[in-house]
């Protein structure tokens, strides 16, 4: 049976829109953190595997959740609270994916316990963890993917940029960037009634988020950008279709508009019989219009050609990497923020959580602002300006700080209304506004002033357990 546009539309609705028909209010947090060998050598993967086993013995409720082709454990899951400790893309990156909770203090307490144990364990081998969005020691590492279905597929896709010779873009030289870049992601439950407005309004503050949270300096190669991660995504094969990455630079009128945007996305992989199949990135509707699609499958250590027949259920393998993503859980995932200095880890979730129910007030701030907005630039263009070390000349620094403070104040008001005390996690943002800085700018300035990167690594890896 031919798969028509209406079938695709209905499937997209079921996958991404229908799950928002809910009345929940949970928080999910994922924090990716670079591992660093202080000997200025590659991260020792034998040490990584040893510490994984040590963690599992210490925290007995964590059970093996993922094993690579070499028999090494790369994911552990606690089925009592759904916390996951795993490695992201490679064994150079550890991830703490915290199971959903109703408050930030519960998440922070468990994260702090896990992080402290893992960091102290690594330091026994002269390795450490630090809170940076790009690993400053990446040049020493072996940048190879975890030998598993998902990560081999992902790296194969990113390496295929040389096969795209007819696209209006250029590609950077870092297809392995997933192995040295780290993010701090937040998932929040959003009701269907608020879904469109949540995406519209939060998209407009991506420039402010860049100003407050940027922490991805390509140390040793580029000191002009405080959030080089944006370029790593945009100028990779994920960005062949610009709708798959970055800011929504359109405003949705309703759910139909949003669904039309989903239809405009590209797909580049599916699974058959437990194995991933890569193919050239193509529009979703174009994919389903074909009788067969030619792709590549990993088998016995190499890739071979395979033809597949599109199936409507392949939509579950649609993998956009927008700054704001819809998930099959009925959540909205905010994914544009770099890993923060570890002591500030909860400020990311606190910022989004406080604003989630303040959409009208947040929109009013943006609508009435003329410092940043209504100057002829889209939100995406403004974000590109604000991840540069120096502000563009048309922006008044003091007025921009006032605008940022108004938005953080609004987030604080939202948290105060929850009456839990979570507004304490916003303190780092007020400090940054006061200093007219962010962690990326701090790193650039510190290194310019002769501060050793080792000292910054140590400072950004500290955990303030007094909260």
**pLDDT > 70 in the chain, percent:** 99
Two tokens, residue 94? 């550890």
Residues in the chain: 467
Assign 465 a pLDDT band (cuts: 50, 70, 90). Answer: low
User: Does residue 1 have a pLDDT over 70?
Assistant: no
pLDDT tens digit string along 241-278? Answer: 999 999 999 999 999 999 999 999 999 999 999 999 99
> Is the pTM here over 0.85, yes or no?
yes
How much is the pLDDT for 300?
A: 84
Across the chain, what does the average pLDDT equal? 96
Pairing of strands 93-101, 84-87: antiparallel
Domains along the sequence of the chain with CATH: 5-460 (3.30.590.20)
- Cα dist from 52 to 121, 143, 223, 255, whole Å: 10, 19, 34, 43
CA–CA separation, 324 vs 465, rounded Å? 30
Please provide residue 306's backbone torsions phi and psi, each rounded to the nearest 5 degrees: -155, 140
Question: Using CA atoms, how far apart are residues 47 and 50, in angstroms rounded to an integer?
Answer: 5
- For the stretch 384-443, pLDDT in tens is 999 998 889 999 999 999 999 999 999 999 999 999 999 999 999 999 999 999 999 999
Considering only CA atoms, which of 463, 467, 466 is closest in space to residue 117?
463
Tokens of 39: 């000997």
Residue 467: pLDDT over 70: no
Q: Parallel, antiparallel, or unpaired for β 184-189 and 73-78? A: unpaired
Residue 141 banded pLDDT, cuts 50, 70, 90: very high
* Lowest-confidence region among 20-24, 293-297, 320-324, 370-374: 20-24
């Amino acid at each position: 049976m031919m798969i028509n546009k209406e079938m695709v539309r209905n499937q997209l609705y079921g996958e991404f829109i229908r799950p928002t028909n809910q009345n929940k209010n949970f928080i999910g947090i994922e924090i990716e953190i670079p591992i660093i060998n202080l000997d200025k050598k590659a991260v020792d993967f034998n040490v990584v595997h040893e510490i994984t086993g040590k963690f599992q013995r210490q925290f007995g409720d964590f059970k093996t959740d993922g094993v690579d082709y070499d028999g090494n454990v790369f994911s552990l899951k606690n089925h009592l609270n759904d916390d996951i400790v795993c490695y992201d893309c490679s064994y150079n990156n550890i991830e703490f994916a915290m199971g959903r909770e109703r408050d930030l203090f519960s998440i922070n307490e468990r994260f702090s316990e896990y992080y402290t144990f893992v960091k102290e364990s690594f330091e026994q081998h002269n390795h450490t963890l630090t809170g940076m969005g790009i690993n400053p020691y990446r040049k020493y590492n072996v940048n190879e993917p975890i030998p598993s279905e998902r990560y081999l597929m992902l790296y194969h896709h990113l390496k295929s940029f040389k096969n795209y010779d007819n696209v209006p873009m250029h590609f950077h030289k870092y297809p392995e960037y997933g192995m040295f870049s780290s993010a701090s992601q937040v998932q929040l439950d959003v009701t269907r009634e608020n879904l469109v407005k949540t995406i519209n309004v939060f998209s407009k503050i991506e420039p402010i988020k860049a100003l407050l949270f940027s922490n991805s300096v390509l140390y040793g190669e580029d000191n002009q950008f405080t959030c080089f991660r944006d370029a790593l995504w945009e100028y990779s094969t994920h960005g062949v279709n610009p709708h798959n990455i970055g800011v929504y630079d359109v405003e949705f009128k309703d759910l139909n508009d949003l669904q039309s945007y989903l239809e405009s996305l590209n797909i580049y992989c599916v699974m058959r019989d437990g194995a991933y199949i890569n193919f050239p990135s193509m529009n979703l509707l174009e994919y389903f219009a074909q009788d067969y699609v030619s792709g590549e499958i990993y088998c016995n250590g190499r890739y071979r050609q395979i033809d597949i027949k599109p199936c409507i259920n392949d939509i579950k393998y649609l993998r956009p990497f927008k700054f704001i993503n819809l998930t099959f859980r009925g959540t909205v995932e905010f994914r544009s923020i770099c890993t923060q200095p570890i002591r500030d880890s909860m400020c990311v979730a606190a910022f989004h959580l406080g604003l989630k129910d303040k959409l009208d007030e947040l929109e009013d701030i943006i609508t009435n602002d003329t410092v940043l907005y209504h100057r002829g630039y889209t939100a995406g263009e403004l974000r590109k300006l604000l991840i540069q070390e120096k502000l563009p000349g048309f922006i008044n620094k003091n007025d921009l700080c006032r605008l940022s403070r108004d938005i953080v104040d609004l987030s604080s008001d939202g948290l105060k209304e929850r009456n839990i005390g979570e507004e304490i996690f916003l303190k780092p943002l007020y400090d940054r506004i006061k200093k007219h800085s962010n962690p990326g700018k701090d790193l650039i300035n510190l290194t310019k002033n002769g501060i050793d990167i080792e000292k910054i690594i140590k400072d950004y890896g500290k955990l303030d357990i007094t909260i």
